[in-house]
Amino acid sequence: MKDLLPNTETYTLSPNSAPEPDSLDASDSSDLPDLPDEPSPLNNSDSPNDPAPMREPIHIILIGSTVGVKLVVGVLHSLGFAEPRAWSKPQIDPNSGKPMRILTKWMRY
């Protein structure tokens, strides 16, 4: 399935570890669950009778100068966040007119 979704990566959370949307506080990230390195066995069922896991696309958008956007893509790659080829090709942001790149990561819970 990953081959059909260019410029995406998928992360999986077990249903019990997903935080409630209203419980997230931007000032305190210690309550956020850690993303597992491998998909959860709870969501990897091949049976056609099992319900499909819920998926949600998360879009990360970089807008800035050409040099700044390239630097951030490189830094995020060095931190292991995303491969540079996973980002979209540079585009022009319609609101600011500055270069923009988009990364889509998929959350499965």
Q: What is the pLDDT of residue 34?
A: 63
Give Dmax (Cα) for the chain. 50
Q: What is the pLDDT of residue 53?
A: 76
What are the domain boundaries of the chain?
2-14+34-108
Structure tokens at 55: 């998926």
Q: Where does 1-87 have alpha helices with state H?
A: 66-78
| 42, 15 contact by CB (below 8 A) | yes
Amino acid, res. 66: T
Structure tokens at 5: 């979704």
Q: What is the pLDDT of residue 23?
A: 43
Q: What is the pLDDT of residue 36?
A: 53
Rounded Cα–Cα distance for residues 103 and 59 (Å): 6
Angle value at C-alpha 78, between 73 and 81, nearest 5 degrees:
70
Structure tokens at 75: 């830094």
Find where tokens 């419980």 sit. Answer: 23
* Average pLDDT of adjacent 10-residue blocks, the chain of 109 residues: 48 53 47 54 52 87 96 96 95 96 92
